[in-house]
Amino acid sequence: MTDTTSGWLSSDELEFARARMPILYVEAVPVRVDDSGEVTSIGLLLRIGPDGTVSRNVVSGRVMHHERVRDALLRHLEKDLGPVALPRVPASLQPFTVAEYFPTQGITPYHDPRQHAVSLAYVVPVAGDCRPRQDALDLVWVSPQEALSPALQSEMPGGHGVLLKQALAHVGCVI
């Protein structure tokens, strides 16, 4: 993987940039698939938000300066799922959607009070042992039906529930 640590901004620099321009992100919906390639389960991270609420999230993070999208996707998958998750990033990096997050609610289904962000979203099969790292409390595997339930959807802030529905529709998991 490319060493891109020089691409990080300080907290003050990031806040300055976020206030003035969209930031590019990648998001990944980790899935387990059977031998025929059908999605059998979806991995969702449990996190505690700044306000103390527990929420479910997909893998997400910024693309750094001078970093390829593929490298950013792999870096965030390893950061959130662990070094032996064995993600199978698609050969074609065509996202299933482009999500536009705005600090103002209601412009799109996606909301991030910190910034205007543009995110390339992917469904990524993982075959290895996933152990959440960084700020995630746990990784929970749910069936496609559970992932689409209103109860679970309500636990996904900022439009991630909408993103999850789009991901599942993209891979043919609609109920």
- Residue 5 within any structural domain of the chain: no
In a domain, 95, yes or no: yes
**Containing domain of residue 76, as a range?**
14-170
Q: CB atoms < 10 A from the CB of 51, how many? A: 7
**What residues form DSSP beta bridges with 25?**
62, 119
What is the rounded CA–CA span in Å between residue 29 and residue 22?
Answer: 22
Taking only the tens place, the pLDDT of each residue in 94-112 is 999 999 999 999 999 999 9
**Is there a domain that residue 8 lies in?**
no
- What CATH number has the domain bearing residue 158? 3.90.79.10
How many percent of the chain have pLDDT more than 70? Answer: 95
**Do the domain assignments include residue 4?**
no
The tally of domains found in the chain comes to 1
- Listed in sequence order, the residues at least 6 apart from 136 whose beta carbon sits closer than 8 Å to its beta carbon are 45, 46, 47, 57, 80
Kindly indicate the confidence band of residue 4, based on its pLDDT and cuts at 50, 70 and 90.
very low
Q: What is the 3-state secondary structure (H, E, C) of 29-62?
A: EEEEECCCCCEEEEEEEEEECCCCCEEEECEEEE
* Position 146 in a domain: yes
Q: What is the pLDDT of residue 21?
A: 85
Confidence category of residue 11, pLDDT binned at 50, 70, 90: confident
The predicted model gives 22-45 an average pLDDT of 96
Q: Is residue 5 over pLDDT 60? A: no
β-bridge partners, 31 = 42, 125
Confidence of residue 7 (pLDDT cuts 50, 70, 90): low
pLDDT at position 103 is 94
As a whole number, mean pLDDT of residues 28-56 equals: 93
The whole-angstrom separation of Cα 45 and Cα 131 is 10
pLDDT in tens, 120-175: 999 999 999 999 877 788 999 999 999 999 999 999 999 999 999 999 999 998 75
- Whole-model pTM: value is 0.89
User: Is the residue at 123 inside a domain?
Assistant: yes
User: Given this model, what pLDDT does residue 3 score?
Assistant: 44
Q: Is 139 helix (H, G, I), strand (E, B) or coil?
A: strand
C-alpha of 41 from chain center: 16
What's 63's DSSP letter? P
- Among 3-12, 23-32, 124-133, the least confident range: 3-12
**111 inside domain:** yes
Average pLDDT of the residues of the chain: 91
The answer to whether the CB of 66 falls within 8 A of the CB of 106 is no
Q: Is residue 128 part of a domain?
A: yes
Amino acid at 125: P
